[in-house]
Structure 1
Amino acid sequence: MPGGDAPVVPVVRLGGVIGRASRLRNGLTLSSTAGVLKKAFDMKAAPAVALLIDSPGGSPVQSHLIYRRIRSLAEEKDKRVLVFVEDVCASGGYMIACAGDEIVVDPASIVGSIGVVSAGFGFVEAMNKIGVERRVYTSGHAKVILDPFQPEKPDDVARLKAIQEEVHDHFIDIVRSRRGDVLRQNDDIFSGMFWSGKTAVALGLADRTGEIRTVLREMFGEKVKMKLLGSERSFLPRRLGLESLAERATTALVAELEERALRSRFGL
């Protein structure tokens, strides 16, 4: 490095469910990460940008927007992107990880789940038992497809699956474009299956096992320094009434339960 100065690598932590968690709490979104990503890539002397990812997934749209912003900044600033996976990097979390030029995982990390899911409940029989009648009036015959209070229709399910296939194909294209030269031939890679970090490396979904401090020292020398950059916080009014405080606590609890439910799919 010029003048013998120790290189500084900006580190951005991307953790949690992707998408808006509630009205008062954002998960990972482009708006919540754009500022910190720009700050990281604007560090001219930095030899690379490091991303710490710990996410079970979420919104495919926000996942793609964050992925595209990282790649756009990397190309604009001519920066290498290093991804370090912590507990889980699944579904949309893995899509974001594909923005990295190298993906480093812990042997016990959970990686993969390249697929699309939509889940819900049906309450038709429950409504019949308690004597509740559903009344819905629309000006378009498709406005209430997949309504949980009405019997499921095969055509509605087929329509949903067609959309899922389109989104899934897009996800597969991203993985192949970024990892195609190292991916192993395995029919399960794009099935929604997930693996340990050690197996993910064997499959080509990740490049190697390791942890951020050791890897950065190997790459940039023992004197390398890490600069952790914080994400932007969503705005909340300073003067909150009791009702707002209660609402904030409730929505925070719901968001936490949602994230725990997503993580539980991966045994976490």
Structure 2
Amino acid sequence: MDSPQPTNGTPGWERQTLEKLAFAALEEQRSRRRWGVFFKFLGFAYLLVVLVAVVDWGADVEHQERHTALVNLNGVIQSKGEANGENMIAALNSAFEAKNSVGIILRINSPGGSPVQAGIISDEIRRLRVKYPDKVLYAVVEDMCASGGYFVAAAADKIYVNKASIVGSIGVLMDGFGFTGTMDKLGVERRLLTAGDNKGFLDPFSPQAPQHKEHAQVLLNDIHKQFIEVVKAGRGKRLKESPDMFSGLMWTGVQSVELGLADDFGSVDSVARDIVKAEKVLDYSVKDNIAERFAKRLGASTFAGFWNGVSEGAHSVRLQ
């Protein structure tokens, strides 16, 4: 008896189908491997790019050459910001300790900030100048060197400005808000409990007490006196004092040179080339890590700054 034929009329169709399925599976597996290799290579290339961007591979070689060390003081001087005492001290120490740095330039673009942080940076500059008497530190002002920024600059050997720079604002402020009128209109009652007669000092939701205002002024006057003493000690006989010099006013770079608040005109490049006599400039500023850079790009730092401002209270003393 003849054996039955396949229903589709093609001998061995089952085997052919299985072979096709096997080859298709092998091809899919090979394709997955190729894509896996591709994505691994892509990830490796990305990490390599990030590493090259973050690491200064030529730094060690450059540091072996005679150069001018640069440290940047940018933005508001505050404990949680880029221009804080910890970062600035680390950068300044690295700049002074570098064997082949022949001078240091402190580039300043700052409206001021915390008197404590400014004082920490100023004290460290003076200490390092004594420790390394053969190295000079020049402050170079670009857009603004006001209040706390000038507090720091006064510790330098010399101060160089641009003709249009804004310099000065030698004063202290404490600001805040009072919400008592708004609360009365809204029918909101403030319930403040304290242990200590003055624990509610300058509470923005309570009426301002005359004795608190008077005490706050004493604090401001004391810090202002410290500021004036730092400027006089740093500038010495170069200052051409006037009644307005310590009033909180600001001046242009041209006026600051005339008043003795600055010494001359110059930029980072011109001071390095013509004054320090070391044209190569190497930046010793403390850099953000990768996470911080991403956070700034995403705007996280803006939110953090807002939240810090709210959480630190309604009143703060600033050299601004």
State the TM bucket, normalised to the shorter chain: 0.7 to 0.9
How far off is 1:138 after superposition? Answer: 0.9
Output the CA distance in 1 between the equivalents of 2:66 and 2:304. 42
Partner of 1:138: 194
Q: Of the candidates 68, 73, 76, which is equivalent to residue 17 of structure 1?
A: 76
Cα distance change on mapping 1:155 and 1:86 into 2, 3 Å: same
Whole-angstrom CA distance in 2 between matches of 1:121 and 1:234: 36
Q: Which runs of structure 2 are paired with 1:20-99 in the superposition (5 Å)?
A: 20-21=79-80, 26-78=81-133, 79-99=135-155
- Identity, in percent, stands at 38
Q: How does 1:86-235 map to 2 (within 5 A)?
A: 86-221=142-277, 224-233=279-288
Q: Is the 8 A contact 2:65 2:100 kept in 1?
A: no
TM-aligned CA distance change 1:119 to 1:39, over 3 Å: same
CA distance in 2, matches of 1:11, 1:237: 22
**3-state secondary structure, aligned to 2:101:** coil
* Secondary structure of the corresponding residue to residue 269 of structure 2: helix
Distance of 1:232 and 1:32 partners within structure 2: 9
Q: In structure 2, what residue type is equivalent to 1:32?
A: N
Offset of residue 20 of structure 1: 3.1
57-66 or 77-86, which moves further after superposition? 77-86
Give 1:238 shift.
11
Distance 1:35 1:51 in 2: 13
Secondary structure of the structure 1 residue equivalent to 2:171: coil
CA drift at 1:234:
7.3
Query: In the alignment, what sits opposite 1:250?
Result: 303
For structure 1, the 5+ residue unaligned runs are 257-265
One-letter code aligned to 1:250: F
> C-alpha distance in 1, partners of 2:269/2:293?
38
Instruction: Find the residue that maps to 1:12 and give its secondary structure.
Output: strand
Instruction: Give unpaired runs (5+ residues) of structure 2.
Output: 1-63, 310-319
Give the aligned length: 244
* One-letter identity of the residue aligned with 1:209: F
Contact kept in structure 2, 1:7 and 1:220, CA below 8 Å: no
Contact residue 88 and residue 285 of structure 2 kept, 8 A: no
Q: Indicate conservation of the 8 Å contact 1:9/1:48, yes or no.
A: yes
Q: Which residue of 2 aligns with 1:8?
A: 67
Q: Which amino acid aligns with 1:61?
A: V
Give the AA of the match of 2:125. Answer: I
1:149-193 deviation per Cα after TM superposition (whole angstroms, max 9, x unaligned)? 111111111100001111000110011111121111311110011
Aligned amino acid, residue 194 of structure 1: M
> TM-score, with normalisation over the residues of structure 1?
0.84
The structure whose RCO (Cα within 8 Å, separation 6+) is larger is: 1
Distance 1:239 1:175 in 2: 39
Query: Highest Rg: 1 or 2?
Result: 2
For 1:200 and 1:237, locate their aligned partners in 2 and report how far apart those are by CA, in whole Å: 36
